[in-house]
Structure 1
């Protein structure tokens, strides 16, 4: 179902979720993105891509390493508030991500006029639901607080499939 709707959509993606966040400075944003990369490294479902072209049936492919995609936009404040511009540019009704390129979580960032940073996280529902987002948020927080030793051993996605 999810892949079918992704392929059939002529623009946008009904299964793409967007979350906007603001950071006081670039250092905090970079620490956050580093923490997200560490969470992606821990969980195979977050390193999953979906392949279907030239295949008899679609396949989920788990990569050993998937580098987080971060796109830096240079937006002009004369065109309106940066927050509104980046929100419009990443609207899931208009924006798509390539499901063949893991991880299916992406960030688009831009500096605001007050030197703060705005980030939009795009995550595809094929790799995450509400539970996944909660797990990611908790782990990101632990990495940001240098308490990652408290993290449990990650469970392979294949264990979930077997259930």
Structure 2
């Protein structure tokens, strides 16, 4: 079991510091104003069926954390003129393994719903990293339930889809002993720099014109990807997606 990091931050472990996006500022304000609210918590549920390599799966998630600076980010607002996001160089993803195979399916379902609820009740301290955590529960010899809980201030829905795709690409590479060379990701700081250079009035006019007539949100769509012999079910909020998974290198 790996737990959240609560130690003091060393300057040597800081990769970068930069302002928040307007959306992040709003989320930070509302999260601090009403810390009991779960509005900005996101929870992903994945059902995995097959011969899962638990260590490789955990390593794949850690590789994604190492790869993306936003997943190593916390927030500073005390004694600063404006809120800032602080990127740490090294962050260990909190990971909790459990084995429920001795419980009946009914007991497992009860325990699982209790875990979903209790994990959402566990408040994220926004000035500490990381703002995500993972639970992996084995319910049968070849069936697992996985929960990833995080703060929405880090990721939106589209980014979550990319994150999951990379996790399973890294997993496939690890179990097949093949390197996975993904393109270097653009740091989130690049987006912040771009936002600060924009003319807000012109941007608002552009989107008002292009979104004129839209009355409902566009549903989130996940692409399918084939990675290893299993069936992957992803539940994000109230939506559910299922993918057949195949091993790519055998």
TM bucket (normalised to shorter chain) is 0.7 to 0.9
Whole-angstrom CA distance in 2 between matches of 1:51 and 1:74: 37
Secondary structure of residue in 1 paired with 2:121:
coil
With structure 2 as the length reference, what TM-score do the two structures score? 0.55
Secondary structure of residue in 1 paired with 2:135:
strand
| Residue 5, structure 1, aligned to residue 30, structure 2 | yes
Unpaired runs of at least 5, structure 2: 1-25, 174-178, 195-250
Name which of 46, 71, 85 aligns with 2:111: 85
Mark the CA change 1:52 to 1:31 in structure 2 (over 3 Å): closer, same or farther. same
| Residue 48, structure 1, aligned to residue 80, structure 2 | no
Secondary structure of residue in 2 paired with 1:120:
strand
RMSD, matched Cα: 2.7
Unpaired runs of at least 5, structure 1: none
Q: Aligned residue pairs: how many?
A: 161
Specify which structure has the bigger relative contact order, considering alpha-carbon pairs within 8 angstroms and separated by 6 or more residues: 1
Name which of 192, 201, 204 aligns with 1:161: 192
Secondary structure of residue in 1 paired with 2:124:
coil
Secondary structure of residue in 2 paired with 1:21:
strand
| Residue 148, structure 1, aligned to residue 180, structure 2 | yes
Contact 1:107 1:121 in 2 (8 A): yes
* Farther off after superposition, 120-129 or 6-15: 6-15
Deviations 1:11-39 (A, max 9, x none): 35211111112334785333222111101
Match runs of 1:1-150 below 5 Å: 1-24=26-49, 27-53=52-78, 55=80, 57-73=82-98, 77=103, 80-91=106-117, 94-112=121-139, 114-115=140-141, 116-146=143-173, 148-149=180-181
Contact 1:11 1:95 in 2 (8 A): no
- The structure whose Rg is larger is 2
Contact 1:26 1:117 in 2 (8 A): no
Whole-angstrom CA distance in 2 between matches of 1:98 and 1:83: 29
Displacement, 1:129? Answer: 0.4
Mark the CA change 1:136 to 1:93 in structure 2 (over 3 Å): closer, same or farther. closer
Deviations 1:89-147 (A, max 9, x none): 233763422322322221123332x2333221012111100121122122112212215
Displacement, 1:53? Answer: 4.5
Contact 2:44 2:149 in 1 (8 A): yes
Whole-angstrom CA distance in 2 between matches of 1:9 and 1:90: 21
With structure 1 as the length reference, what TM-score do the two structures score? 0.81
Mark the CA change 1:26 to 1:108 in structure 2 (over 3 Å): closer, same or farther. farther
Displacement, 1:67? Answer: 0.6
Displacement, 1:79? Answer: 10
